Structure 1
Amino acid sequence: MIDVRVPAEYDQGHLPGAINVPLQEIRQHLAGLDRELHHLIYRRSSAAAFLLSQDGLRSSVLTDGLKDVPSAYLIR
């Protein structure tokens, strides 16, 4: 999972196992992403999914971001 929010937002709560790669830095991190994985992106995710697909990476978007995730499931 990739959380593309800025670090301060990520620190407010994120899904377990999610890595923080701010959207403005996503291109810099493409080479380091595992090409065998299917990446789940949330928050500002459509733009990030587009950038990953342009680089040949598979991804899906968590449509409503963290809106419907109970806060008990988030790491703070």
Structure 2
Amino acid sequence: MRKLMPATAEIVDLFRELVGREQADETIKRAMKGQGGFWVQETCPDGVVREFGSREPVGRAGAVAAALPAMPALPANRPARRAGA
């Protein structure tokens, strides 16, 4: 995923830094099962738009957004960090 979706990989890394690896990974696992809580859409280097995770059910999105006010926006021209960097 890191090569295919580099901006998403950086967002996952930042999310782990903000809330801790264990909580972030649990949230992402739930999202990958379709339970919402973490969703990213990225136009990948190959030009294909891909999604990762699942969108929050209607009515809960505001609560999730409010819970992560410190999540920084990534500039469109910022290169993704390399794993281990």
**TM-score using structure 2 length:** 0.28
More strand by share: 1
Larger Rg: 2
